[in-house]
Amino acid sequence: LGLTFKPNTDDMRDAPSLDIIPALQAAGATISAFDPEGEAEARHLLKDVDFAADPYAAARSADAVVIITEWDQFRALDLDRLKADMKTPILIDLRNIYRPDDVRRQGFDYVSIGRAQ
């Protein structure tokens, strides 16, 4: 979830997604992505990505969801709905927008970066 360098922009320059998505694909992952504003530019830069209409469509049947950009709408996800759409409830939060205990209580395996687990 999130492709742009930062929220509230379509700027893809130096976006972490440009490194993360190809690395996941090289490891065998199939990618479904959603970004509220960056899809048009991302389509030129990322290959073999399914661009979803919303975060829940991106999560449908997913083994994991990775939050790459801290868009406000990702802070307000309906976690019950997200979990129901996923194959495996794993949430990897690269922006630490959720409180680990809250997400784990919702039944997710939760990984955040740069803070104590």
In tens, the pLDDT along 17-73 reads 999 999 999 999 999 999 999 999 999 999 999 999 999 999 999 999 999 999 999
Judge whether 8 lies within some domain: no
| 70 within domain boundaries | yes
**Domain total in the chain:** 1
Q: Is 117 part of a structural domain of the chain?
A: no
DSSP, residue by residue, 38-102: THHHHHHH--SEEEPSSHHHHHTT-S-EEE-S--HHHHT--HHHHHHH-SS-EEEETT--S-HHH
Does residue 98 register a pLDDT over 90? yes
Question: How much is the mean pLDDT over the chain?
Answer: 95
pLDDT value at position 116? 63
**CATH number of the domain within which 66 lies:** 3.40.50.720
Range of the structural domain that residue 52 is part of:
17-112
Question: Is residue 117 predicted with pLDDT exceeding 60?
Answer: no
- Whether 9 is covered by a domain: the verdict is no
